[in-house]
Every structure is written in C-alpha cells, then in structure tokens.
Structure 1
Amino acid sequence: MSDAELPQPETESTQLDEDDRLKPEFVDAVLDAVEDGDDEAVRQLVEPLHPADIADLFELTPSERRPALAKAIADLLDGEVFAEMNDYVREDLIDALEPHEVADIASELDTDDAVAIIEDLDADDQREVLRAMEPDDRAAIEEALSYPEESAGRLMQRELIAVPEHWTVGDVIDYLRADDALTTDFWEVFVVDPSHKPVGTCKLSWIMRTPRPVPLSDVMQREQTLIAVDMDQEEVALRFQKYALISAAVVDGSGRLVGMVTVDDIVHIISEEAGEDALLLSGAGEGDINEPVITSYRARVRWLIANLATALVAATVITLFEGTISKMVALAALMPIVAGVGGNAGTQTMAVTVRALATNQLTESNTLRAIRREISIALLNGVTVAIVIGIAVSLYYQHIELGGVIAAAMMANILIAGLAGVVVPLTLERLRADPAVASSIFVTMTTDSMGFFVFLGLASASGLVG
C-alpha cells in the first residue's frame, strides 16, 4: 500500500467523543485494519493517541484479538501504556512477552509503576524478569516487593531529590543542573540530615525565587507529613486528602528517607478504594469487566451462599407464625413490605457508616454521637413511613387494626435497621474485620428476621387473627 493509500492520522475529534472516550467507529477501524493484516494502517491510526487512550483501546478490544493488536503496534507499546492499562488486560499481554521484554518495559518506568507490573507475575516469571533487569533496577524492585501489598512501600517511587541541610539555594540549583541522571518529575526537594533522615522540604518555587547565597535551612519548611513505609495505601490517601499534599516523604523503620509518594498515584488509589468499598458491600468481587469469568463467579457465589444462609434465618422466623399467617392471608402480602423497607433503611445507614469509617470521619471519640444521630434519623423516618403505610393499609383492607399493626411493625423495624446499620460496621471495625465485606450480610439478616418477627408477633399478640 502506498503512502497515498494509507489512512491519514486521526484527529482527536474523530478518535474521542465528548466524554474523552474512544469512539466505537474508531475502535472498529483499528480492529478492521488488524484483521486485514495492515500493520502500517493500524500504527498510523493509533500513533496519535495518548498512552492512556492506547491502554483504553486494548481494554475495548476482545481478549482473543489483543495479541494481534499488540503485534501490530509493538513499537508504540512502551512503559507508559502498560502503566495505564487495566490490571487484567496488562496481565494477558505480559504473559505473552518474553522476560527480557518485560524487563525492558519495567526499566522505562518509575519504581512504583514497574512494581505494579511485576508484582502480579507468578514467582517463577518474577525471578526471570528480575534477572533480566539491570542490578540497580532489580534491587529497587526487590526491595519494593518485600513490603506488604497495598502499602506505601509498594506505592512509593525511589526517584527523588534529596539534599543536605547545610547547602545554599545556589548549591541546590547547581546540583539539579549538573546531574543528568536525576529524576525530572518532582515538585519539591527533600532536605535530609547526615543520617539521611528528612528534616524538611523545599518547594521548587521557593528555590527558583530565592537568591543563591541564602542557606537552604532558612527557606525550607520543617513541618512535613512523613509516610511510614508499611502504611496502608488507603491511609496514605487520607493523609494526602487531609493535608492537601502534592508529594510526601516515605521513611523506613529507622526514620531514613527511602522514597516518596506523589499525588498522581493517590488519585488512582482514591478512585480504587471508593469503588472497592461499594463493590464489597454488594458482594460483586472486584467488579472489573475484564476480570475472568471464573474469578468473578467464585467471588460472587460465596456471597450468594452466605445470603442464602441468612435468608434461612428469616424463613425460620416465618415458620414460627404459620398458624397466624394461615388465618389472615393479608399478612403474607404485607410481610415483604416491612422487611424490604427496613432493609433499605439499614442499607442507607450502613453505607454512610462504612464511608465514614473509611475516611476516618467516624472514630472512637464521636461513636456515641454517630449512633444517636442515626437513631434520630431512623425515628423520624420510622414515624413518617409508619403513618403512610398505616393509613394506606387501613383504607385498602378496610381494617384499622391491621393498619395499626403494620405501622407499629414498620416503625420498630426501621429503628432496628438504623441501629444495626451503624452498630454492625462499628463492631466489625473494632474486631479488625473489613466492615465493607461483611456488614451487608448481617444487616440484611437483622432487618429481614426482625421485620418478620415484629410484624407477625404484633399480629398474634394484638388478637388480630384470633
């Protein structure tokens, strides 16, 4: 195919829609060119894309066609593209590469991005890739892998600027200009003492605007937020959010500077953690549409079996009142309403509580106040819903006593739901269990079983079905 026949590079307006997503017709054009074996056409279509958009293209490509796409644009698949890829998509492509190819890609990246690629490999593949890397890069990756998963040690990058406290601003500027091997992506300079412990930070803007003879100790900021190397990444994200950080020093157990965390990594963490809690509450696993079917099945079926067990508890409560239900069929029709509304009320409270725990808004110092608040809200909701359902049932069934019973049951179950929605996550948190994982099961069991018990118990005790 001649140059005149090759498709011209796409402009951004024809590649992306108004939400910055790749247009279906563009994806189809790329895959059609792949299908035709026209690698040059594929390359010309894809080359103008940002690395993040190339990563999206692979996610939008069916898994069986990704190897052919990767082969067609092999020279465009650099470390930046792999760093932006979905984990499952990246794993598929990495598995198809030779160890030295993976090592070359990892060597292009900052330590944190390289770790993200290598940590998901099998142990044997990890060793092969690490052996193919340069000694300095290998040592940095091995050290990072020695830290717990989802910790600051895995998240941090080791490429940073650290200078001694006795230097002047001019010394720092000369150092930055003279050493070509220094990282070029940083927002502040870390100031360290002779034992390499951080004693302060200095923003680049201060360095640029301060006369050269001024001692660094006169312009640096001594107050700083230090991140422990084993701190959970969610806690790191909360520190960044609370103190409006751009970057922060990471220190080891002896207080020595070993790396830094930057805000671009934190943006990803905040997004991941927020979505993770929502998915855990629903039992949907990781909720990734690129996740293998069998993996999603295993995550979800466990949750459904657990829900089945809790549903049996509610069913057992119903069997205690078979005689009551058989005497008044309307009770069977109204039972799901009491349990369903109570379940929704409990879910509302549980979602608020889990989020408050995740963001450190809810601590031991304000636990009682939070419980009182949720009970107050439940009381107001209970009164409102009870009045509405009581009047509606009374009019529909022409039975005032039945309306009173369901109103009282609804009021009680919403109060129980509000209490369970806040107490269950708090209890799990105190027991060092993840409240996002198990709260839903216990809250649903409580609202269903107690809803049935209170409603049918009141119907029996009131003489409604004598």
Structure 2
Amino acid sequence: MVLDEDNRLTRDFVNRVLQAVEDGDNHEAYRLVEPLHEADIADLFELTPSDERGPLAIALGDVMGAEVLAEMNDYVREDIVDALPASVVAAFAEQLETDDAVAIIEDMEEDDQRAVLAELDPEDRAAIEDALSYAEESAGRIMQRDLVAVPEHMSVGQLIDYLRDHHDLTTEFWEIFVVNPQHHPVGTCRLSWILRNPRSTPVSEIMQTEQTLIPVDMDQEEVALRFQKYALISAAVVDGNGRLVGVITVDDIVHIIQEEADEDILRLSGAGEGDINEPLRESYSARVRWLIANLGTAMVASFIIAQFGAAIQTLVALAVLMPIVASIGGNAGTQTLAVTVRALATNQLTQSNTARTIWREVRIAVLTGFTVAILAGLGAGLFYSNWILAAVISGAILFNILIAAFSGVAIPVFLDRLDQDPAVSSSIFVTMITDSMGFLIFLGLAVASGLVG
C-alpha cells in the first residue's frame, strides 16, 4: 500500500524506496515512485533524511522534475537545489511559471543565483530578475507574467481567432484582461462569457469594468485578504503607472493563506518558522531569544512574590492557590490575544472598532470571571474552611481575568499601531502582566483582608 487512509505515504512504502536506493537498485526506486503525483513525490523527499535526499534525486531521474521541486517544502527544496548543477536548476526554472521559478531561486546564495540566471534563456532570465527586484512577500514576487491581454476594440470572434492563432500565449488562464492603448486594465472577460456570445459581439460590451487591481508592491497577506473579501479567481497586478504587469491567481493565494496563518500561530508561541525541516541552529536561535525574554518577565512576577514572603509563610494556602490565579489569568489572556491577532490579520479589527472590541472583551471577561471566581471560591472555602480566603481568591481571579482581557486586546493593537507585528511578542507581555498582576492582586487582597499579618 502506497497511501494510508489519511492520504499520506505509508512508512513501509518510504522504507522500500529508500532501501532500493541504498542497494543501488535505481530502477526499482524509479518503478515505485513514477506513478505518484508530484505532491506525493515532494512528500517522499520531506520524509527522507537530509543526507539521503541527493541519492534519491539521482535515482529518480526524470521523475524528479520541476513540478516536484515547486511542491516541496522550502528547506527540503534548498537541500536538493544546493546539490544540483546550475544548468539543471535553470532547466527546472524554465519549465515553471515565473512565480514558482522565483520561489526556487530566491533563497539561493547570491553567487549560485547568478550562475543559474546565466544559464537561463534571456527572456526567462529577464522575467525572473524583474520579479527578484520586488520586495519579498510582495505582489510583484508572487505574480505570474504570463497572461492574455487584448485591446477593447476587438470582437468576440477576433478574440477567439487570436487565442487560436497565437500558440505562444499561456495555456492556463481563467479570464482575459482588456487594456487601453496605455496598457491600463479597463475590464476583464471570463472565458464562459466569450464562449456564450456571438462572434460579432464587441468585447467592450461583455467585459466587466469593475475589477480589483493589485498594486505591485502590496504585501502578499493584504493580497490574500482582497481575494477572500471579493471572492476573486484571479486579479490584475499593476505598476506605479497603472500599467498591467502581471496576474495573481487563487491557487497561489491558497498557499499564502496557509503560510500566513501558520506564521502568525507560530510567532505567538515564539517557535520561529516551526518547520521540522528547519536547520537546528535556526530553530535554536528563534526559540531561545523568546525564552530568555520570558525569563526576564518571569523575574518581575518573582519579585512581587518576594515582597509578600512573610505573608506566604504564615498561610501556606496562599502558596498553594497562587498558581491557580496566574494560570486562569494567563489562559484568559491567551484566548483574547488569539482572537485579537486573528482580527488584526484579517482586517476585522481597525481603528474604527477598537473601542467597541475592547468593551466586548471586557463584558465577556466579566461573565467568565464571575463564573470561574465563584467556582474557585466555593472550592477553596470548602477545602480550607476559610471563607475569607475564598473571597480573596474569587476577587483575585475576577480582577485578573478582567486585566487579561484588556491587555489581550490593548497590547497587540498598540504594537500594530507602531507598525510592529503583534503576533511576534504580544504573548510575552500578556503573560508578564497576568502573572504579575495576578500575584499582586491575590497577595495584596490577602494582606488587606487581614487574612495574614
């Protein structure tokens, strides 16, 4: 069996392929892998240990094509590309759409990039160099240059003849862009409209003039939001002068949405790229700096506890219950933080509704705070037979959840207003606030209530 019930390559199949390569039986490895889809072959390379990927690529021969490279995880693809001659990488790049070719070349070392570009056909080289001139994760990087653009004076019949007669046109497209003499997009025509209208119909009569134009320097996350908001299949990309320079299609956006969502979640945790194929040094560097920052913020909470050392010594129950207050506040803050970061990422949270969103989260915090506080107070009161202690922990939990809700919205919004990524460091600050304030409120109430001297 090649695939399991979850459509993943089985361990037995992977082992059979790798064993064939190890035994030098490249024919058997080729026979096993050749029927697979390009995405499954890419998965095979990701499941293969790093030092065995090179021999596997050699064994597979022409099965190891450009489409397989395009489907690969970035880190795995880098391993393969680094092991291939520049001429082979160039041959792969020429077989792909510009955006996929750029994805292969952009992460290479500068010398390797130049070597690959030198092997390319002049036209392909110019297109890829143009794409590389735009900022990473911009519309210019991810757009395709191959599109169909026609003047608005054409008729449907002339357009069909044009598509049939010009064999150098791209073969995969969903709509045709209509441009004026300055090459500014003035409308779009879906293929279904062209096929269902008489040949004599002017294109200008059936084209849709309302369209979503993507500036070439727009961030890819904003591009994805445009596609989602307006339910786009494809969209024209224009330069600073409004000229049509490329097209972005929904299949590219699906990958971007997944990448951006994964990126935000991983940044919230401080886990860096979070890819199991990421080099050990990069994973270490990404994680350790946030753990060190967390160590610093944890010391703030420890300092607060130290100020109430005598009180804790007189009533051991305080030491037992303190982690509950901090934990409940931390979880409440994480819930609010996750909702806020997502709302910022999807443009649901803007300056016009920030105050309303904070008020909403505070109301939710009041409801959840009272519920959890009452349960915790009843439990502490019954266990310790001390209803003053029960009231103290109830009050501390309620106030800490309120603080967590406010900080869970305010901190990422504040960072966003400073043009900083709210997903990167918000959790560190929210955790510090909920821990520190939780301990301070709990121990402060204990002293103020006369529970301890």
Q: What TM-score comes out, normalization by structure 1 length?
A: 0.96
Please point out which of 88, 99, 106 is paired with 1:112.
99
Q: Does 1:256 align with 2:247?
A: no
Q: Does 1:333 align with 2:320?
A: yes
Map of 1:276 onto structure 2: 263
Please point out which of 47, 50, 53 is paired with 1:60.
47
Q: Does 1:393 align with 2:344?
A: no
Find the residue that maps to 1:189 and give its secondary structure: strand
Instruction: State the Cα deviation string for residues 423-463 of structure 1 (Å, max 9, x = none).
Output: 11111110110000011011000000000000001111111
Map of 2:20 onto structure 1: 33
Map of 1:197 onto structure 2: 184
* Separation of aligned partners in 2, 1:129 and 1:64: 23
Matches within 5 A, 1:26-105: 26-105=13-92
Runs of 4+ displaced beyond 3 Å? none
Q: Cα offset for 1:418?
A: 0.5
Find the residue that maps to 2:214 and give its secondary structure: strand
Map of 2:111 onto structure 1: 124
Q: Equivalent pairs: percent with the same residue?
A: 68
Map of 1:3 onto structure 2: none
Map of 1:4 onto structure 2: none
Letter of the structure 1 residue corresponding to residue 89 of structure 2: V
Q: Cα offset for 1:389?
A: 0.5
Q: Does 1:247 align with 2:252?
A: no
Instruction: State the Cα deviation string for residues 24-75 of structure 1 (Å, max 9, x = none).
Output: 1111111111111111111111110111110000001111111110010121
Find the residue that maps to 2:181 and give its secondary structure: coil
* Separation of aligned partners in 1, 2:277 and 2:397: 42
* Separation of aligned partners in 1, 2:18 and 2:260: 33
Letter of the structure 1 residue corresponding to residue 10 of structure 2: K
Q: Does 1:136 align with 2:136?
A: no
Q: Cα offset for 1:358?
A: 0.4
Q: What TM-score comes out, normalization by structure 2 length?
A: 0.99
Please point out which of 351, 370, 376 is paired with 2:363.
376
Map of 1:448 onto structure 2: 435
* Separation of aligned partners in 1, 2:52 and 2:265: 32
* Separation of aligned partners in 2, 1:237 and 1:16: 32
Instruction: State the Cα deviation string for residues 91-129 of structure 1 (Å, max 9, x = none).
Output: 000001111111110000000000000000011111111
Q: Does 1:223 align with 2:207?
A: no
Q: Cα offset for 1:163?
A: 0.4
Instruction: State the Cα deviation string for residues 182-233 of structure 1 (Å, max 9, x = none).
Output: 1111000000000111000000000111111110000000000000101010
* Separation of aligned partners in 2, 1:74 and 1:402: 73
Find the residue that maps to 1:364 and give its secondary structure: coil
Find the residue that maps to 2:445 and give its secondary structure: helix
* Separation of aligned partners in 1, 2:146 and 2:363: 52
Q: Cα offset for 1:326?
A: 1.4
* Separation of aligned partners in 2, 1:250 and 1:143: 14
Q: Does 1:437 align with 2:424?
A: yes
Map of 1:309 onto structure 2: 296
* Separation of aligned partners in 2, 1:324 and 1:185: 74
Matches within 5 A, 1:156-175: 156-175=143-162
* Separation of aligned partners in 1, 2:175 and 2:449: 72
Map of 1:8 onto structure 2: none
Find the residue that maps to 1:249 and give its secondary structure: strand
Find the residue that maps to 1:389 and give its secondary structure: helix
Map of 2:348 onto structure 1: 361
Find the residue that maps to 2:319 and give its secondary structure: helix
Q: Is 118-127 or 321-330 further displaced after alignment?
A: 321-330
* Separation of aligned partners in 2, 1:66 and 1:117: 17
Find the residue that maps to 2:414 and give its secondary structure: helix
Matches within 5 A, 1:390-429: 390-429=377-416
Q: Cα offset for 1:322?
A: 1.1
Letter of the structure 2 residue corresponding to residue 167 of structure 1: M
Q: Cα offset for 1:148?
A: 0.6
Letter of the structure 2 residue corresponding to residue 403 of structure 1: A
Find the residue that maps to 2:247 and give its secondary structure: strand
Letter of the structure 1 residue corresponding to residue 76 of structure 2: V
Letter of the structure 2 residue corresponding to residue 118 of structure 1: I
Instruction: State the Cα deviation string for residues 280-313 of structure 1 (Å, max 9, x = none).
Output: 0001111101111111000000110010011011
Q: Cα offset for 1:360?
A: 0.7
Letter of the structure 1 residue corresponding to residue 217 of structure 2: D
